[in-house]
């Protein structure tokens, strides 16, 4: 399906390309929501923002990603309340979109090579990761229910990775439809080592963290040190619930993880996660969804704590939204809430809805469950709301236009 | 035969409400529809050949649940979205 927006709201593809040329060095923030997607174009100072949207109004958009290898290709993971899931692709920064010829879909049960396994269908593509810099055209996707997919042609056609999707052990670890988030268990946090395109990680909520050193042919579990909900057995991989895992760009041996049960760090080749969230203030705790790493400083990261007490309200603790940061790999934490609502703000931030740009100082962005887009131009010291009244925000990504 | 396309799928059919497609069964009809309008089938039938949960199929006014349902050239097929969601 080719989608072209109304002429009244959009310029032609030709003039869009012109806009892209004028946008040298400008920031672009990609916002995916429960009811469509918006692109926010910033000026070089990141002070004023121009909204381009809605794209796919009414579609449930879980993720929009820019391909950093060409600086102009966008992929969007979308479905509607009625229609099945698909992926849209734009090669002109959202001027026009074309549907993937073969979106992520599981193997038919009879053709999976595992006749004992129940055939599954993708409910939605949840996560998109551009491949290694040396592999233009390669993308990875994570789905709900949990599945891992790869495209070798820039997102036009997608193939399931049977080493995960049809592996009886992995299928057991994925658990049932009930072993996941309210809108379905998800495969997410697909990470690629910038030093080695065959070295991959992904995480499942639920189902643990996993690593491959052979391009996805075989996988090893990486959950040692991670805690599970009280009363459950951490030896059972299904019970592990990583919410978001990030790799430090300047030190790919260091990963940080926001888990259902705390904040963790690991420094490979060590195989044990360390719960650095224990140093967070007790009344805030270290439960949350997003995890953001600094583009240049592997000791620096940001999290957005939420209330994980009693019935798991998943709101800002005590209605007081705040970002927390560490400058020393999790030894100590500081609260960053200047500019955020001082009281009675009961929203929170989902696992894909907080991100950093690569500028200096780093710009931070997060989108809320209540449809507000917040930004900081100074690494979290001061926050400003740059858009409100959007639908529930599912994902926020920042890119510098090449 | 004539097939009624619901609004969420008209981006595939150049906004046409009624389109022509052929097949001896509902499954074959949907295959033909996908040849004419690539991508439309996966939005309404999943990879395990199950009708998607919120999409309904009617033949001559009767709801159909079986993709193997045989069709005659003069049948009229309606594809509609269920009254669900939010």
Q: Residue A309: pLDDT band by 50, 70, 90 thresholds?
A: confident
Q: Residue A10: pLDDT band by 50, 70, 90 thresholds?
A: very low
Closest CA to A164 of A221, A115, A226, A103: A221
Q: Which pLDDT does position A8 carry in this prediction?
A: 36
Q: Report the C-alpha gap between A374 and A362 in whole angstroms.
A: 14
Q: Which pLDDT does position B83 carry in this prediction?
A: 77
Domain total of chain A: 1
Interface test with A, best of B16, B27, B37, B43 (most A CBs within 10 A): B43
Q: Which pLDDT does position A240 carry in this prediction?
A: 96
More confident residue, A44 or A332: A332
Interface test with A, best of B16, B33, B46, B86 (most A CBs within 10 A): B46
Is the pLDDT at A218 greater than 90? The verdict is: yes
Separation in Å, CA of A4 to nearest CA in chain B = 10
In a domain, A7, yes or no: yes
Separation in Å, CA of B79 to nearest CA in chain A = 12
Q: Which pLDDT does position A6 carry in this prediction?
A: 40
Closest residue in B to A102 (Cα) is B39
Q: Which pLDDT does position A239 carry in this prediction?
A: 94
In a domain, A30, yes or no: yes
In a domain, A347, yes or no: no
Is the pLDDT at A17 greater than 70? The verdict is: no
Interface membership of A111 toward B (CB under 8 Å): no
- For A224-238, the pLDDT digits (tens) are 999 999 999 999 999
Separation in Å, CA of B5 to nearest CA in chain A = 13
Facing residues of A257 across strands? Answer: A245, A264
Q: Report the C-alpha gap between A307 and A294 in whole angstroms.
A: 25
Q: Which pLDDT does position A3 carry in this prediction?
A: 57
Interface membership of A6 toward B (CB under 8 Å): no
Stated as kind and residue range, the H or E segment containing A19 is helix A13-22
Q: Report the C-alpha gap between A33 and A351 in whole angstroms.
A: 13
In a domain, A273, yes or no: no
- Chain A CB contacts of B86 under 8 Å are 81
ipTM score assigned to the predicted complex: 0.90
What the block records as the tokens of A44 is: 């070089």
In a domain, A56, yes or no: yes
The 10 Å Cβ neighbour count of residue A249 is 14
Separation in Å, CA of A83 to nearest CA in chain B = 5
Q: Which pLDDT does position B8 carry in this prediction?
A: 93
- Chain B CB contacts of A2 under 8 Å are 11
Is the pLDDT at A15 greater than 50? The verdict is: no
Q: Which pLDDT does position A400 carry in this prediction?
A: 77
State the average pLDDT over residues B18-29. Answer: 98
Q: Residue A2: pLDDT band by 50, 70, 90 thresholds?
A: low
Instruction: Inspect the interface and report whether the beta carbons of A1 and B85 lie closer than 8 Å.
Output: no
- Chain A CB contacts of B36 under 8 Å are none
Percentage of residues of chain B with pLDDT beyond 70 = 97
Concatenate the DSSP letters of all residues of A189-253 into one string: EEEE-TT-TT-EEEEEETTEEEEESSTTSS-EE--TT---STTS-TTSGGG--EEEEEEETTEEE
- For A250-271, the pLDDT digits (tens) are 999 999 999 999 999 999 999 9
Q: Residue A1: pLDDT band by 50, 70, 90 thresholds?
A: low
CA–chain centroid gap for A45, Å, is 25
Instruction: Inspect the interface and report whether the beta carbons of A121 and B50 lie closer than 8 Å.
Output: yes
State the average pLDDT over residues A187-200. Answer: 98
Instruction: Inspect the interface and report whether the beta carbons of B84 and A120 lie closer than 8 Å.
Output: no
- For A19-76, the pLDDT digits (tens) are 433 334 688 999 999 999 999 999 999 999 999 999 999 999 999 999 999 999 999 9
- Chain B CB contacts of A99 under 8 Å are 39
Percentage of residues of chain A with pLDDT beyond 90 = 85
Give just the sign of the alpha carbon dihedral A381, A384, A386, A387. positive
Is the pLDDT at B65 greater than 90? The verdict is: yes
- Chain A CB contacts of B39 under 8 Å are 1, 86, 99, 101
Domain that holds residue A45: 1-99+353-402
Q: Which pLDDT does position A281 carry in this prediction?
A: 96
Q: Report the C-alpha gap between A390 and A57 in whole angstroms.
A: 11
Q: Report the C-alpha gap between A158 and A369 in whole angstroms.
A: 30
pTM above 0.90, yes or no: yes
Residues of B with CB under 8 A from a CB of A: 8-9, 11-12, 38-40, 42-50, 52, 54-55, 81-82, 84-86
State the average pLDDT over residues A334-363. Answer: 97
**In sequence order, which residues have a C-beta less than 8 Å from that of residue A287 and are 6 or more positions away?**
A260, A261, A262, A305, A306, A307, A308
At which residue do the structure tokens 């089938």 appear? Answer: B41
In a domain, A70, yes or no: yes
End-to-end CA distance of chain A: 28
- Chain B CB contacts of A103 under 8 Å are 42
Q: What is the mean pLDDT of chain A?
A: 92
In a domain, A304, yes or no: no
Q: Which phi and psi angles does A128 have, rounded to 5°? A: -125, 130
Q: Which pLDDT does position A25 carry in this prediction?
A: 67
What domains lie within chain B, and their CATH numbers? 2-81 (3.10.20.30)
In a domain, A250, yes or no: no
Q: Which pLDDT does position B85 carry in this prediction?
A: 52
Closest CA to A76 of A68, A66, A92: A66
State the average pLDDT over residues A361-369. Answer: 97
- Chain B CB contacts of A158 under 8 Å are none
Instruction: Inspect the interface and report whether the beta carbons of A109 and B48 lie closer than 8 Å.
Output: yes
Q: Report the C-alpha gap between A363 and A371 in whole angstroms.
A: 19
């Amino acid at each position: 399906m080719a989608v072209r927006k109304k002429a009244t709201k959009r310029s032609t593809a030709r003039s869009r390309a012109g806009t892209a040329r004028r946008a040298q060095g400008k920031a672009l923030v990609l916002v995916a929501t429960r009811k469509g997607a918006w692109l926010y174009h910033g000026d070089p100072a990141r002070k004023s923002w121009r909204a381009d949207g809605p794209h796919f109004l009414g579609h449930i958009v879980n993720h929009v990603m820019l391909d950093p290898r060409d600086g102009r290709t966008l992929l969007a993971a979308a479905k509607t309340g009625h229609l099945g899931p698909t992926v849209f692709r734009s090669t002109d920064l959202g001027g026009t979109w074309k549907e993937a010829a073969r979106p992520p879909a599981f193997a038919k049960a009879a053709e999976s090579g595992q006749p004992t396994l129940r055939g599954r269908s993708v409910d939605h593509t949840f996560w998109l990761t551009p491949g290694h810099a040396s592999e233009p055209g390669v993308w990875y996707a994570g789905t709900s229910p949990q599945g891992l997919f790869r495209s070798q042609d820039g997102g036009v056609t997608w193939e399931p990775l049977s080493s995960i999707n049809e592996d009886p052990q992995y299928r057991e670890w994925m658990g049932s439809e009930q072993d996941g988030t309210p809108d379905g268990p998800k495969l997410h946090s697909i990470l690629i080592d910038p030093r080695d395109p065959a070295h991959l990680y992904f995480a499942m909520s639920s189902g643990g963290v996993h690593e491959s050193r052979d391009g996805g042919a075989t996988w090893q579990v990486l959950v040692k040190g991670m805690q599970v909900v009280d009363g459950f057995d951490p030896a059972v991989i299904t019970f592990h619930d990583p919410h978001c895992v990030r790799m430090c760009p300047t030190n790919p041996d260091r990963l940080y993880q926001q888990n259902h049960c705390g904040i963790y760090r690991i420094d490979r080749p060590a195989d044990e996660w360390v719960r650095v969230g224990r140093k967070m203030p007790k009344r805030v705790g270290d439960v949350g969804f997003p995890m953001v790493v600094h583009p240049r400083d592997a000791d620096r990261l940001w999290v957005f704590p939420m209330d994980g007490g009693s019935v798991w309200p998943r709101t800002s603790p005590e209605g007081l939204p705040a970002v927390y940061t560490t400058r020393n790999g999790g030894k100590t934490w500081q609260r960053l809430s200047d500019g955020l609502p001082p009281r009675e703000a009961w929203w929170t931030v989902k696992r894909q809805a907080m991100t950093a740009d690569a500028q200096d100082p780093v710009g931070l962005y997060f989108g809320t469950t209540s449809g507000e887009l917040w930004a900081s131009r100074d690494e979290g010291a001061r926050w400003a709301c740059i858009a409100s009244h959007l639908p529930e925000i599912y994902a926020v990504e920042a890119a510098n236009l090449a | 035969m004539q097939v009624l396309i619901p609004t969420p799928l008209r981006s595939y059919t150049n906004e046409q409400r009624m389109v022509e497609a052929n097949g001896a069964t509902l499954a074959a009809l949907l295959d033909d529809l996908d040849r004419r309008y690539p991508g439309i089938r996966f939005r309404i039938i999943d990879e395990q050949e199950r009708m998607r949960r919120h999409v309904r199929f009617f033949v001559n006014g009767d709801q159909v649940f079986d993709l193997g349902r045989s069709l005659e050239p003069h049948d009229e097929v309606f594809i509609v979205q269920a009254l669900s969601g939010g």
